[in-house]
């Protein structure tokens, strides 16, 4: 007996509808709400690391939502104004934290470029962690996160840093 067809247009439409509902309920705007809870400290580098930690936690808690948000598995999915606005607010928040590090001489470079690198690093590591490929123990996973974050931030250190 042949296997039942699993990838129908109806199933695809249903998954897309659920994904859009998830994005509306706790997508980029939900990620921004997590960032809004972060207060600035006297240590700009620690503040950037905290943003990465919050982003990591969001992806761990919402792996399917993160995949829809960041990998765009549906080519015809076009975020609406609310999602685009929330996405812009998230970018502005991250860039502002990076700018504080540059102003303090902790990082050197263009703030938007550095923010993109940090987001890409976080997305990649979070995808690896969610898939179970970053390690088998909490200690090994955390060690690899710390190694990657420190390596990137140290590599972007400013002349006075």
CATH classification at residue 25:
1.10.357.10
pTM: 0.77
Structural domain of residue 87, as residue ranges?
9-155
Q: Over the stretch 95-137, which tens digit does the pLDDT of each residue have?
A: 999 999 999 999 999 999 999 999 999 989 998 999 999 999 9
Structure tokens at 85: 């606005």
Residue 122 within any structural domain of the chain: yes
Q: Over the stretch 60-105, which tens digit does the pLDDT of each residue have?
A: 887 777 776 666 555 555 666 665 555 667 788 899 999 999 999 9
Residue 133 within any structural domain of the chain: yes
Residue, of 26 and 127, whose pLDDT is higher: 127
pLDDT at 55: 87
The answer to whether 98 touches 115, Cβ cutoff 8 Å, is yes
What's the number of domains the chain is made of? 1
Residue, of 55 and 44, whose pLDDT is higher: 44
pLDDT at 42: 97
Q: Is the pLDDT of residue 57 over 80?
A: yes
Residue 160 within any structural domain of the chain: no
Residue 2 within any structural domain of the chain: no
Residue 161 within any structural domain of the chain: no
Question: How wide is the angle at C-alpha 87 spanned by C-alphas 120 and 158, nearest 5°?
Answer: 45
Residue 1 within any structural domain of the chain: no
Residue 40 within any structural domain of the chain: yes
- Give 121's contacts (C-beta < 8 A, 6+ positions apart): 52, 148, 149, 152
Residue 65 within any structural domain of the chain: yes
Mean pLDDT value of segment 39-67: 88
3-state secondary structure the chain: CCCCCCCCHHHHHHHHHHHHHHHHHHCHHHHHHHHHCCCCCCCHHHHHHHHHHHHHHHHHHCHHHHHHHHHCCCCCCCCCHHHHHHHHHHHHHHHHHHHHHHHCCCECCCHHHHHHHHHHHHHHHHHHHHCCCCCCCHHHHHHHHHHHHHHHHHHCECCCC
pLDDT at 85: 55
């Amino acid at each position: 007996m042949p296997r039942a067809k699993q990838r129908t247009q109806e199933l695809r439409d249903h998954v897309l509808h659920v994904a859009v509902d998830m994005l509306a309920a706790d997508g980029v705007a939900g990620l921004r709400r997590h960032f809004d809870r972060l207060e600035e400290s006297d240590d700009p580098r620690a503040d950037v690391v905290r943003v990465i930690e919050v982003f990591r936690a969001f992806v761990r808690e919402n792996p399917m939502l993160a995949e829809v948000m960041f990998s765009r598995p549906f080519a015809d999915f076009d975020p609406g104004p609310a999602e685009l606005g929330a996405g812009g607010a998230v970018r502005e928040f991250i860039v502002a934290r990076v700018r504080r590090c540059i102003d303090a001489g902790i990082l050197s470079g263009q703030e938007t470029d550095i923010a993109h690198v940090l987001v890409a690093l976080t997305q990649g590591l979070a995808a690896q962690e969610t898939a179970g490929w970053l390690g088998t123990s909490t200690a090994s996973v955390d060690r690899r996160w710390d190694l990657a974050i420190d390596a990137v931030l140290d590599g972007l250190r400013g002349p006075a840093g």
